[in-house]
Amino acid sequence: MNIHRYPENPLITPADVPPSRGDFEVVCAFNAGAAKYGDEIILLMRVAERAIGDDKVARVPILNCDGGSPEIEIREFDRSDASINFGDSRVICTPGRVYLTTLSHLRIARSTDGRRFTVDPKPAIFPDRPSEAFGVEDPRITEIEGMYYVAYKSVSPSGICIGLAVTKDFQKFEKRGIIFCPENMDVCIFPEKVNGRYAALHRPVSGFSGSPNMWIAYSTDLINWGDHHLLLEVRRDGWDAERVGGGLVPIRTDRGWLEIYHASDFVGRYCLGAVLLDPNEPHKVLARGGSPIFAPEAPYETDGFVPNVVFSCGGLVGGDKVSIYYGAADTVIAGADMSLCEILDSLA
């Protein structure tokens, strides 16, 4: 598979993003939904921030909704406290409770050439309710009839679920509540109705049994979802053995719906893979690639906040070119072009 990484990579780094407050620092600018809006290419990226700390204390911003109105609270964790596990850069595990090391919001970056981006000075979607107390993350943008639907992870002590926000201009966003209850993530809404219904990929997690597999659901109104089907399971021992989840919004092709998804193996390496779904009944898999179509190799993909990660929440298709924007090493945003035909042929 030919991958044309952009020579400008990484396209956006944490240093390019002004923090939302003076006492915050941006740690990661990554996992971005993508959309075309007029002449602009829009990336709606996840920006992970922490309060500026030091070697002794980790300072974590959390949305506190206990009072009347939500307020950012800075919680401090003593790095020398042996009862606290700081081993995973993403989480702080205290006895009885898990915290994220960062609070994420969603920020817009705009471009006309798809390579050079200007980052908006302020957040576009910021956590503002109990279900978002640990942040909002990993948006996918689906354009349907001039409206842009943003499905994003909503993280809180009550779990990870999916919120929906809607915009028509990438200026004002209206939140529409929780569309998938805990635990769920990686929701990719199809760009048009299929057989009279909307469809969405999603990734529930089952405590009792079962791996983090990809499911699909249907809807008549984009708010209420049902008719759930298990769609794509992890495979034993390989690059997609630990978890699979939707990546890009599914792409309609003349062979069916092409989904470029992410998967990780048991050492936490994240790759992208491809699967072809039935054009009229996308809960049926027509073909699945045996190998990843895109694996972390470049230095900005192999080193960072979480090493060896390529993770895409959005791309744009023009003719045979698929422009994939992706979070690299959970730290920066990069871009790469691939050939649609080549991906489809790899599934034949």
**35-54 mask for a second copy (x: CB under 8 A)?**
--------------------
Q: Which residue has the tokens 């471009």?
A: 111
Does 217 contact a second copy by CB under 8 A?
A: yes
**114-143 mask for a second copy (x: CB under 8 A)?**
----------------xx--x---------
- Decide: residue 129, CB within 10 A, 0-12 exposed, 13-18 middle, 19+ buried: middle
- Reference 155, options 46, 18, 302; nearest CA is 46
Which of 85, 112, 195, 224 binds a second copy (CB under 8 A)? It is: 224
Q: Which stretch binds a second copy (CB under 8 A): 46-54, 157-165, 240-248, 301-309?
A: 157-165
- Decide: residue 125, CB within 10 A, 0-12 exposed, 13-18 middle, 19+ buried: buried
Within 10 angstroms of residue 208's Cβ, the number of other Cβ atoms is: 4
Does 94 contact a second copy by CB under 8 A?
A: no
What whole-number distance in Å separates Cα of residue 72 and Cα of residue 8? 35
Does 98 contact a second copy by CB under 8 A?
A: yes
Q: What angle do CA 164, 166, 170 make, to 5 degrees?
A: 130
Q: Which is nearer to a second copy, 214 or 274 (CB)?
A: 214
For the record, the structure tokens of 317 come out as 């298709």
Does 195 contact a second copy by CB under 8 A?
A: no
Q: Which is nearer to a second copy, 80 or 209 (CB)?
A: 209
Which of 54, 55, 221, 237 binds a second copy (CB under 8 A)? It is: 221
- At its nearest, how many Å lie between a second copy and the CB of residue 39? 34
Does 149 contact a second copy by CB under 8 A?
A: no
What whole-number distance in Å separates Cα of residue 16 and Cα of residue 270? 25
What whole-number distance in Å separates Cα of residue 249 and Cα of residue 198? 13
- At its nearest, how many Å lie between a second copy and the CB of residue 6? 33
Which of 175, 228, 235, 255 binds a second copy (CB under 8 A)? It is: 228
Q: Which residue has the tokens 């407050």?
A: 21
For residue 131, the 8-state DSSP code is G
What whole-number distance in Å separates Cα of residue 64 and Cα of residue 68? 10
Does 345 contact a second copy by CB under 8 A?
A: no
Does 56 contact a second copy by CB under 8 A?
A: no
Residues of this chain that interact with a second copy (CB under 8 A) are: 97-98, 130-131, 134, 155-161, 177-184, 202, 204-210, 213, 215, 217-221, 223-230, 233
